[in-house]
């Protein structure tokens, strides 16, 4: 299969950005990625755009042409992908496959979401559309309540890890303090997590990811092309995996092992020719603190039931066995739905290049991004290696 590498990355500040519209976010992040790649925009042959719900929150659909027009890319083909919170990673995978097929040599992949300008009720309604309306949303279920059920079932099967969940939030906030693009640059304590506004038992507001505006873009190129034009460390995509599962939580075989992650990880590891122990860092989908713990187990980093203890023992810290969410994660960096998967990739590439500044980890040659959609009805995993 034709090798593909990341040659350019760009993202906006993540957060509540009342003075920025969708076009502003696209323009900033897209232009940064193209500039970082060191190419003329005329070299870009196609654009893949991840976006979840601008049709509802911004009354704006047809995001591919909108992004192309905003960036001045001319008459290139564009495509929008939607897979709830995995929308950006799906766009990345489409761009990746377009190059591996030989159809294109250089493509731009982007993701964007603008949501903080809407009332909480409208944002929540939009987010809920990624769940099963008939059997979940129509009966009053929300994503916090669904993931709270996961947490409580996990407690039943493996023991109460409430303190470990709080430590996930503490650790990710600590990482975000060193990320200038992070939304929540604020230290918290375990006690603050416990005493936060209750959302859905056992989750408090500090166990939940953020409502975020933001955009992230990457430039992909065939590796033989990247070797000729890139002036930075080339970051090769060595593995990718995409799997799905049923939409409704109640229909899953297990809610403490997410089958979509297990299947996508198997595909990505096999393609990359690596094992979990070979991964130096990972950005995993921490929409809620319990989710990060389950994900690290499903990815094979820790045994089932031991993910919480790994956090408490510092194994997931920046100087730990496998640093997790050095960006601050969805929990503290922010969760701009359509851009989240690409922002994860932005962090992995930044670390592999050795450009992460104060949050730079010691060894960063092989990194993994893990992105879920809904209650793990969609999962996309990508593995990267510095050359």
Phi then psi for 53, rounded to 5 degrees? -145, 35
Q: Token digits for 144?
A: 């916090």
Biggest distance spanned by C-alpha atoms of the chain: 56
> Using alpha carbons only, what angle is made at residue 88 by residues 86 and 91, rounded to the nearest 5 degrees?
110
Q: Token digits for 93?
A: 């995978």
Q: How far apart are CA 229 and CA 106, in angstroms?
A: 11
Q: How far apart are CA 80 and CA 53, in angstroms?
A: 11
For residue 384, give the 3-state DSSP assignment.
strand
Q: 173, 242, 285, 335: which is the annotated catalytic residue?
A: 335
Per the CB < 8 A criterion, the answer to whether 343 and 14 are in contact is yes
Per the CB < 8 A criterion, the answer to whether 130 and 82 are in contact is no
Q: How far apart are CA 160 and CA 162, in angstroms?
A: 6
For residue 200, give the 3-state DSSP assignment.
strand
Q: How far apart are CA 93 and CA 169, in angstroms?
A: 29
Query: Is 287 annotated as catalytic?
Result: no
Strand 203-204 with 198-200, pairing = antiparallel
Query: Is 173 annotated as catalytic?
Result: no
The catalytic residues are 85, 335
């Amino acid at each position: 299969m034709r090798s593909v590498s990341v040659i350019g990355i760009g993202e906006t500040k993540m957060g509540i950005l009342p003075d920025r519209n969708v076009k502003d976010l696209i323009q900033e992040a897209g232009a940064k990625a193209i500039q970082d790649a060191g190419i003329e925009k005329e070299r870009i042959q196609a654009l893949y755009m991840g976006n979840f719900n601008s049709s509802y929150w911004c009354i704006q659909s047809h995001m591919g042409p909108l992004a192309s027009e905003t960036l001045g890319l001319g008459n290139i083909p564009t495509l929008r992908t939607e897979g709830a919170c995995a929308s950006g990673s799906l766009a990345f995978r489409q761009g990746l496959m377009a190059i591996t097929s030989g159809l294109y040599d250089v493509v731009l992949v982007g993701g964007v979401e603008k949501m903080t300008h809407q009332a909480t009720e409208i944002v929540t309604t939009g987010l809920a559309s990624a769940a099963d309306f008939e059997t979940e949303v129509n009966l009053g279920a929300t994503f916090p309540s669904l993931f709270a059920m996961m947490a409580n079932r996990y407690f039943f099967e493996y023991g109460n890890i409430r303190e470990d969940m709080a430590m996930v939030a503490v650790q990710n906030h600590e990482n975000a303090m060193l990320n200038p693009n992070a939304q929540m640059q604020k230290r918290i304590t375990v006690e603050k997590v416990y005493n936060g506004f209750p959302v859905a038992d056992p989750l408090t507001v500090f166990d939940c990811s953020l409502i975020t505006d933001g955009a992230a873009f990457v430039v992909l190129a065939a590796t033989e092309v990247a070797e000729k034009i890139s002036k930075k460390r080339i970051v090769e995509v060595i593995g990718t995996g995409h799997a799905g599962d049923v939409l409704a939580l109640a229909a899953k075989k297990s809610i403490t092992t997410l089958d979509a992650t297990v299947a996508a990880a198997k595909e990505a590891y096999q393609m990359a020719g690596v094992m979990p122990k070979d991964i130096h860092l990972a950005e995993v989908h921490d929409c809620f603190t319990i989710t990060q713990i389950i994900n690290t187990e499903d990815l094979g980093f820790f045994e089932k039931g031991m993910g919480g203890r790994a956090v408490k023992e510092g194994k997931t810290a920046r100087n730990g066995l496998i640093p997790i969410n050095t960006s601050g994660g969805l929990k503290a960096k922010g969760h701009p739905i359509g851009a989240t998967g690409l922002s994860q990739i932005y962090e992995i590439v930044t670390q592999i290049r050795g450009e992460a500044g104060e949050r730079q980890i010691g060894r960063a040659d092989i990194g993994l991004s893990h992105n879920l959609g809904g209650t793990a009805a969609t999962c996309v995993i990508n593995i990267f290696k510095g050359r």
